[in-house]
Amino acid sequence: MKTETVTAIWDRRERSRIAVIERAVDLLRNGELVALPTETVYGVAAGALNSVAVAKIFEAKERPGFDPLILHLPDENWLERVAKIDGRSSGLIEKLMTQFWPGALTLVLDRQPIIPGIVTAGLDTVAVRMSSHPVFVEIISAFGEPLAAPSANRFGRISPTTAQHVFDELGERIPLIVDAGPTSHGIESTIIAVRENRIEILRRGPITSEQLAEFGEVDIVRARKKVSVPGQLPSHYAPKTPLRLVDSAESFVPPPNYRVGLLAWNAPNPEERFAAVRTLSERQDLREAAANLFRCLRELDQLDLDLIVAERVPAQGLGAAILDRLDRASHDSDIRGTRG
C-alpha cells in the first residue's frame, strides 16, 4: 500500500485545508486508517464503531488483540453514549472534564454496549479522551463519530511525535498521514480511573499527579503489578539499542570499544566519551524535555550504537512521566547493556 503524507498547517489556503479534511474523512468512512496529530503524540485512527476498521489498527501496529484502544470523542455529548458514569463519582469526573478536556487526560469508565469489543479488548471498561489538537478536532468533528486511536507506532516501540516518525513506523501500511508538525506534549496522555472519589493514575502523562491532587486523593497504580494491560507492561516503549538509566553521565565510563549514546539532562562534560549526544532540554525545562523525549530516543536508536545511557530527570511533575517512559525503555536491557 502506498502511504501519502499531506500537510495540515492550518494557515494554508482554505481550499487545501478542506481537501485534507475531506480526504481523511472519506478514508475513515470507508473503513481505512488515517494517522492524525494530537497534542500528545500522533495516533493511527479508525472509526471506532467499525470493528473491521479497528482490526486494521491491530494489524498495522502488529499489536496483540488483548490491548485495548483509547476512544476519542468528537464532543462531550458522546460521553454518555459510550460510557456509564457511576453516580458516586460523577461529581469528580465532571470537575476533571471541565478542567482538563479537551486535552491530555484519558478517563477509564464503564463501557456502553455500542462500543465493539475489539476496541476495549473485551474489557467492561473503556478509555475515553477528547483531543484539543485543532487538526484532530476538525477531522473528528467532520467525521462525526468516535475514533479509536492508539499511538501510531508498531507495538512496543516509541510513540511518534512527527509525521516522519509515523512514516518510519507505519509507512506502506496505512494510506494517509496528516502532518501538522511536531506534537506539543511529546508523551502520551495521562490515563486515570476514578473509583469511589479517588483518582487512580494508570499511566503518567502531561497532566501531572500534582495537578490531579487538587481534585481529590490520588493513587499511582504500580505498573509492574498490572500485567493485564500491556501499555503498562514494564518493557513497553523499547528502543532496539540497549538503554541504561543513570543518575548522571558525569561518572559514567563507557566500556572500551563501545559506541555509547547519551540522552542528556545535564550539560554533558566532557562530551567526547560519547559517540552521540541528545540533550532533552538545554534549559532543563521538563515540558520541553517531554516534547523532545521520543524524538531524541529514536534518533539515538538509529545510530547503531552499542548502548544508550539516559540520565534521570527530576521526579517531580512531568519528570515522573518521563522517568516512567525511560524506565520502561531500559527494561530488559540489562543483559545486553552490560556485556563486556
Give, for 260, the enclosing helix (H) or strand (E). strand 260-264
Q: Smallest gap, in angstroms, from Cβ of residue 48 to ligand TXA? A: 12
The grid cell for 4 is 501519502
Cβ(260)–Cβ(273) below 8 Å:
yes
Q: Residue 149 binds which one of Mg ion, ligand TXA, none, with CB within 5 to 8 A depending on kind?
A: ligand TXA
**From CA 147, how far away is CA 247, in angstroms rounded?**
40
Distance CA 35, CA 6 (A): 10
Piece of the chain touching Mg ion by CB under 5 A; list 98-106, 112-120, 144-152, 173-181: 144-152
Nearer to ligand TXA, 100 or 274 (CB): 100
d(CA 327, CA 238): 10
Report the nearest approach of Mg ion to the CB of residue 311 (Å): 24
Q: How many residues interact with ligand TXA (rule CB under 6 A)?
A: 26
Q: Does the protein bind ligand TXA through residue 175 (CB under 6 A)?
A: no
Is 149 a residue that touches ligand TXA (CB under 6 A)? yes
Q: Per CB under 6 A, does 40 bind ligand TXA?
A: yes
**Residue 95 β-bridge partners:** none
Q: Could you say which residues in the range 199-218 bind ligand TXA, by CB under 6 A? A: 202
Q: Which of residues 202-221 bind Mg ion (CB under 5 A)?
A: none
CB 210, min distance to ligand TXA, A: 19
Tell me which stretch binds ligand TXA (CB under 6 A): 67-75, 90-98, 245-253, 279-287: 67-75
In 157-285, alpha helices (H): 163-170, 209-213
Question: What burial class does residue 314 get, using C-beta atoms within 10 Å of its C-beta: 0-12 exposed, 13-18 middle, 19+ buried?
Answer: middle
Residue nearest to ligand TXA (CB): 231
Q: Could you tell me the smallest distance in angstroms from the CB atom of residue 40 to ligand TXA?
A: 3
Rounded Cα gap, residues 59 and 250, in angstroms: 43
Cell (9 digits) for 315: 521526579
User: Which of residues 69 and 201 has its CB atom nearest to ligand TXA in the complex?
Assistant: 69
Site membership for ligand TXA, residue 161 (CB under 6 A): no
Q: Using the structure block, give the residue that is written with the C-alpha cell 469528580.
A: 92
Residue nearest to Mg ion (CB): 151
